[in-house]
Amino acid sequence: MVRLRDLPEYERDHLLSKCDPPLGPPVWVAPKRPLEALRMALLTTAGLHYRDAEAFEAADGTFRPIDGEENTAGLVMSHSSVNFDKSGFAEDVNLVFPLDRFRELRDEGVLGSLASVHYSFMGAGLAPTAFEAGAIQVAALLKRDQVDAVFLTPV
């Protein structure tokens, strides 16, 4: 892990500009049903999308839907951070978006079901407020899909 003092001044200033106060106390919601009865969605900030979908831009607060039945081998990453090593993703998408592992858990009966659609944001470079509109939209879509829980992979 690099230390702030070791970064160029422009990068250090950029990172320090994101030192906002916490969003509020964490909210813990106890599950009302066991894991094997829950409907789960995956959410990532890895900038993933299918090849035929619009790529993420450098400062992009939008999201991309990821169909729960599509082959994960068709996912590409347009994450724009030069500080992010994409080699693990190139070998196995499940390192950043474990949809295949969650399908296995569902098929083994460990997990009740998976959402019809999962979602990806591109997490590099933006303040949390830039994602607010998209997060509200995704929350409504997840609610409509009757999702009980979300597994987040922050990148």
Is 123 within 8 Å of 155 (Cβ atoms)?
A: yes
5 inside domain: no
124 inside domain: yes
Is 149 within 8 Å of 40 (Cβ atoms)?
A: yes
146 inside domain: yes
7 inside domain: no
45 inside domain: yes
Which pLDDT tens digits describe the chain residue by residue (155 residues)? 678 888 889 888 877 887 777 777 777 788 889 999 999 999 999 889 999 899 888 788 899 999 999 999 999 888 766 666 777 777 888 988 999 999 999 999 999 999 999 999 987 767 778 888 999 999 999 999 999 999 999 87
Work out the angle at residue 147's Cα, subtended by the Cα atoms of residues 80 and 116, and round it to the nearest 5 degrees. 65
| Both tokens assigned to 85 | 């090593």
> What is the amino acid identity at position 100?
D
Number of domains, the chain: 1
pLDDT at 82: 64
CA distance 75 to 86: 13
> What is the amino acid identity at position 35?
L
2 inside domain: no
For 74, the domain range is: 34-153
1 inside domain: no
Query: Going by C-beta distance under 8 Å and a sequence separation of 6 or more, which residues neighbour residue 34?
Result: none
125 inside domain: yes
pLDDT at 84: 67
